[in-house]
């Protein structure tokens, strides 16, 4: 039957398997990448993580359907950020707290901008611009770390806006 498969990821957001039911071979209790435990359901609402979509008959093909490149950021059922998303935001907030020469208001705006570059939304472009400016003011070492945070956090569009093509 056509439908969505189940995705298996680790608590750090490494994607182990995007069709964990039909092709169970790559499934594991712990992540080979980082050693964290794996999960296939939303910790908040227990809905299975949505894997690749398999059209009719695709589950029998060696690589049927369209492969998913990375773990989702939010639960499609309840909207909660997944643990890896929350962790990355925490890291970004810690960085914002450490950047010198920012007023409290600028820090608050930078934290909001980190949330807005996670997804494609009407505020993504403004948020990207804000982060770019912060990086220009931050000095070499700090801006390098800021760009690493962006690399982990941002949607593809936001990444292009901030880091260039
Ligand atoms: Zn991992
Ligand atoms: Zn959920």
Q: How far apart are CA 93 and CA 75, in angstroms?
A: 22
Does 92 share its domain with 30? no
- Structural domain for 138, as ranges: 83-163
Protein residues within 5 Å, CB atom, of ion ligand 2 = 42, 44-45, 75, 77-78
Does 158 share its domain with 94? yes
Q: Which residues are bridge partners to 143 per DSSP?
A: none
Residue 32, exposed/middle/buried by CB under 10 A (0-12, 13-18, 19+)? exposed
pLDDT tens per residue across span 83-113: 999 999 999 999 999 887 788 999 999 999 9
Does 60 share its domain with 117? no
Domain boundary among 70, 91, 125: 70
Protein residues within 5 Å, CB atom, of ion ligand 1 = 10, 12, 14, 31, 33-34, 36
Tell how far the Cα of 60 is from the centroid of ligand 2, in angstroms: 29
Domain boundary among 28, 49, 70: 70
Q: How far apart are CA 42 and CA 81, in angstroms?
A: 9
Tell how far the Cα of 101 is from the centroid of ligand 2, in angstroms: 38
Ligand nearest, relative to CA of residue 48: 2
Does 35 share its domain with 105? no
pLDDT tens per residue across span 25-47: 999 999 999 999 999 999 999 99
């Amino acid at each position: 039957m056509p439908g969505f498969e189940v995705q298996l990821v680790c608590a750090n957001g490494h994607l182990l398997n995007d069709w964990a039911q039909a092709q169970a071979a790559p499934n594991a209790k712990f992540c080979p990448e980082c050693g964290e435990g794996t999960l296939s359901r939303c910790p908040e609402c227990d809905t299975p993580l949505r894997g690749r979509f398999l059209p009719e008959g695709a589950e029998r093909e060696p690589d049927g359907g369209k492969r998913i490149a990375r773990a989702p950021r939010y639960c499609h059922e309840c909207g909660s950020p997944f643990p890896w998303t929350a962790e990355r935001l925490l890291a970004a907030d810690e960085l914002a707290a450490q950047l010198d020469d920012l007023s409290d208001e600028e820090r608050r705006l930078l934290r909001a901008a980190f949330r807005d570059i996670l997804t494609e939304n009407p505020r993504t472009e403004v948020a990207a611009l804000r982060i770019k400016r912060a990086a220009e003011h931050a000095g070499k070492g700090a801006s390098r770390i800021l760009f690493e945070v962006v690399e982990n956090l941002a949607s593809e569009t936001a990444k292009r806006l901030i880091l260039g093509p």
